[in-house]
């Protein structure tokens, strides 16, 4: 065999081994994530809250309880997270929320939130339906829409 073929076979074996490792590790992380989500759903409560403000800020600057910062790994403390400031009963609290629902949460409106501790997992409109922002179209999709409008005229 030629040396080039041997090198290619070795590279193929290494790449295949790395991909297999990533697949196995990914499945393990996915199972762990599903287990933690199920655990969070068990302890979830539906609460009526008045949203005062929402923004993405660093975890250190979010004014969260000290125990939350202590439990967060050091490399994630500087990352920006979705934070919601809300009034729950007579108390004003700083809450974290899921990235998926952050854009749906209205400001200065009362909503029903499914929460576990200080983490908002889901929201529902209390008095009216929540406004869903339209999905932003990609550049080529906008051009296709313009072309199709012009051809129909």
Extents of the domains making up the chain: 1-42, 45-125
69 close to 77: Cβ distance less than 8 angstroms: yes
Least confident of 81-85, 109-113, 131-135: 131-135
Please indicate, yes or no, whether the overall pTM of this predicted structure exceeds 0.85: no
Phi/psi at 59 (5° precision): -60, -35
Q: What is the DSSP string of 89-125?
A: TTEEEEEEE-HHHHTTPPTTSEEEEEEETTEEEEEEE
For 45-125, CATH gives 2.40.50
Distance CA 75, CA 48 (A): 34
Q: What is the mean pLDDT of residues 93-109?
A: 89
> Taking 70 as the threshold, does the pLDDT of residue 91 lie above it?
yes
pLDDT band at 129 (very low <50, low <70, confident <90, very high): low
Mean pLDDT computed over every residue of the chain: 87
Q: What is the mean pLDDT of residues 8-36?
A: 95
Tokens coding 18: 């790395």
Report which DSSP code applies to 77.
T
pLDDT of residue 12: 95
Q: What is the mean pLDDT of residues 43-52?
A: 90
């Amino acid at each position: 065999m030629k040396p080039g073929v041997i090198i290619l076979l070795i590279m193929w074996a290494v790449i295949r081994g790395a991909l297999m490792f990533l697949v196995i590790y990914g499945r393990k992380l996915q199972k762990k994530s599903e287990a933690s989500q199920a655990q969070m759903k068990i302890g979830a409560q539906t609460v009526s809250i008045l949203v005062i403000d929402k923004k993405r800020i660093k975890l250190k600057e979010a004014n969260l309880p000290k125990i939350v910062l202590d439990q967060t790994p050091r490399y994630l403390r500087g990352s920006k997270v979705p934070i919601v400031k809300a009034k729950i009963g007579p108390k004003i609290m700083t809450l974290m929320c899921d990235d998926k629902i952050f854009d749906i949460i209205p400001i200065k409106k009362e909503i029903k939130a499914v929460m576990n501790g200080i983490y908002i997992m889901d929201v529902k409109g209390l008095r009216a339906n929540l406004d869903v922002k339209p999905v932003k179209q990609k550049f080529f999709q906008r051009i296709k829409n313009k072309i199709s409008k012009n051809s129909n005229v």
